[in-house]
């Protein structure tokens, strides 16, 4: 999945490198608590935080894999899955060349992008109508 980020050098990956791994996990914990208390969702951009090679993997590995997985085909693939901690989702967007272009941790019951979008539903109806050749009116 993340071959792009696998270390090329024998760098001792671990939290002591940038010291950002643990604080980030705690941030997720706080967000989950808030979500439970108030229903407020949050999104963390993994690319906005300096991480050493291997550290992103370390976060991903810690969060683990849960029950739900989805693969989207939207201008290149996107991958969404729930971690072993319910309510914590990993959203990874790839480009056509399967390179990660953005990656988020979402704390919510279901990431918005997973849902069918109103505009697309409208288009879908139109398309279905055209397909069936039925006049709406």
Partner 1 sequence: MTKDLNLKNGSLTEISPEKGTLGETLRKQGVSRRSFMKFCATTASMMALPPAMIPSIAKALENARRPSVIWLSFQECTGCTESLTRAHTSTVESLIFDSISLDYHHTLQAAAGHGAELAREVAMEENYGNYLLVVDGSIPLDNPGYSTIAGISNLDMLNEAAKGAAAIIAVGTCATYGGIPHANPNPTGAVSVKDIIKDKPIINVPGCPPIPVVITGVLAHFLTFGSLPELDHIGRPKAFYGQSIHDRCYRRPFYDKGQFAETFDDEGAKKGWCLFKLGCKGPTTYNACATTKWNNGTSFPIESGHPCIGCSEPDFWDGGGFYKALSMPTDNLTQTLKYAAAGAVAAGVTVGVMNRSKKNTSNKIHVKTTLEDLEK
List of residues contacting partner 1 (CB under 8 A):
4, 7-12, 16-19, 42-45, 47-53, 55, 72, 74-76, 78, 91, 93, 95-97, 99-102, 104, 112-113, 117-120, 123
| Cβ closest to partner 1, residue 10 vs residue 135 | 10
First-to-last C-alpha distance (Å) of the chain: 49
Largest CA distance in the chain: 68
| Cβ closest to partner 1, residue 16 vs residue 135 | 16
Min dist CB 133 to partner 1, Å, is 21
What CA–CA distance (Å, rounded) separates 22 from 51?
Answer: 11
| Cβ closest to partner 1, residue 78 vs residue 135 | 78
Written as one string, the DSSP assignment of 50-68 is ---TTHHHHHHHHH---S-
| Cβ closest to partner 1, residue 63 vs residue 135 | 63
What CA–CA distance (Å, rounded) separates 111 from 36?
Answer: 16
Min dist CB 65 to partner 1, Å, is 22
Min dist CB 20 to partner 1, Å, is 9
Element (H, E) at 93: strand 88-94
């Amino acid at each position: 999945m993340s071959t792009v980020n696998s270390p090329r050098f024998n760098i001792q990956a671990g939290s002591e490198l940038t010291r950002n791994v643990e604080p980030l996990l705690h941030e997720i914990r706080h967000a989950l608590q808030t979500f439970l208390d108030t229903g407020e969702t949050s999104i963390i951009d993994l690319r906005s935080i300096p991480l050493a090679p291997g550290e992103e993997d370390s976060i991903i590995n810690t969060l683990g894999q849960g029950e739900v997985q989805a693969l989207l085909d939207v201008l290149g693939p996107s991958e969404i899955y729930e971690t072993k901690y319910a309510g914590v989702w990993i959203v990874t967007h790839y480009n056509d060349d399967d390179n990660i272009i953005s990656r988020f941790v979402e704390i919510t019951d279901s990431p918005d992008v997973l849902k069918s979008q109103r505009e697309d539903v409208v288009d879908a109806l139109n398309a279905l109508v055209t397909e069936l050749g039925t006049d709406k009116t």
